[in-house]
Amino acid sequence: MSHFKEPPKKQLGQHFLHDRNVIDKIVLAVNPKPGDQLVEIGPGQGAITFPLLKRHGALTVIEFDRDLITPLSEAAHGLGDLTIVHKDVLKVDFGKLAGEGRLRLVGNLPYNISTPILFHVLEHAESIIDMHFMLQKEVVDRMGAGPGSKTYGRLSVMLQAVCEVQPLFDVPPGAFRPPPKVDSSVVRLVPRDPQSVGIKDPALFERVVRDAFGQRRKTLRNALQAICTSEQIVAAGVRPELRAEQLEVAQFINLSNALGVDAAGTTAVVDI
């Protein structure tokens, strides 16, 4: 007899996985090791939760839907130690949850808020070892795209600057109940060491990337005119006649770092 009686809630992005093969592939990709602090975002009716719990013995889950809390805890009985955090994931402090350790995150994410979730968890990148997320395939394609590709954009640069992005496998709509209207993909994200990334001013970096892709057909000279001059772009070693979609992630970092130096007043470009 199933513990779960409520119908799926569309507003919470509830598409429950039922394809055993896909579930096994996710657990295999996560491959939990003894001592890992596993956290699942959005356990739903436990499709990934219970196999992970059986295998690993302990798991923390974050679920917003109050109707799922009791059924989850009842169904987990005897499988291992399940800690349920009944909260909006966007309000969870992952640094605090990690404590002295670092987390491994897993989740078939609610697609309507997947990008805010990604950026929220990345605010605590130093507390995270890796993430295995199911997302819309179109989002995973954008996350992993490189310069010159049509899908290369703000999400690709912002994410690849701080994470290694490894698309793993695609999942068709039929693997879920109810089936979503789009194809899905599982991706592994591994945060980079912030020291090695070397972004000096994250807010400025974000602004440069946003403006550069704001009108992606424009040259950098035009797209960035609210932030800097052509001379400053040249001084950063970047050609101002390029468009954002032609720039490597590292070049965006160099450019924003060079502008940051100007902002601090140690360099001046004068026109007299």
Per CB under 6 A, residues contacting ligand SAM are 12-17, 42-45, 47-48, 62-65, 88-90, 108, 110, 113
Concatenating the DSSP letter of every residue in 221-252 gives: HHHTTTT--HHHHHHTT--TTSBGGGS-HHHH
CB of 111 to ligand SAM, least distance (A): 7
Q: Cβ 185 to ligand SAM, closest distance in Å? A: 13
- What is the dihedral sign for C-alpha 49, 55, 57, 58? negative
User: Closest separation between CB of residue 161 and ligand SAM, Å?
Assistant: 25
Taking the complex as a whole, the smallest distance from the CB of residue 210 to ligand SAM amounts, in Å, to: 24
- Closer CB to ligand SAM, 72 or 157, in the complex: 72
Supply the Cα-derived Rg of the chain in whole angstroms: 21
Q: Which is nearer to ligand SAM, 18 or 150 (CB)?
A: 18
- Taking CB atoms within 8 Å and a gap of at least 24, the contacts of 152-157 are 152/245, 153/213, 153/216, 153/244, 153/245, 154/209, 154/210, 154/213, 155/115, 156/249, 157/209, 157/213, 157/249, 157/252
DSSP, res 178: S
Residues 6+ apart with CB under 8 A from 50: 75, 76, 79
**C-beta closer to ligand SAM: residue 43 or 144:** 43
214 in Cβ contact with 157 (< 8 Å): no
Looking at beta carbons only, is 133 or 152 nearer to ligand SAM?
133
Q: How far is the CB of 74 from ligand SAM (least distance, A)?
A: 16
Cα–Cα distance for residue pair 185/200, rounded to 1 Å:
32
HSE at residue 90, side-chain half, CA atoms within 13 A, is 9
Name the residue nearer to ligand SAM (CB basis): 36 or 63: 63
Shortest spacing between CB 14 and ligand SAM, in angstroms = 5
Least CB distance to ligand SAM at residue 181 (A): 13
* Triad 124, 129, 135: Cα angle to 5°: 80
Residue closer to ligand SAM by CB (options 95, 180) is 180
Nearer to ligand SAM, 47 or 259 (CB): 47
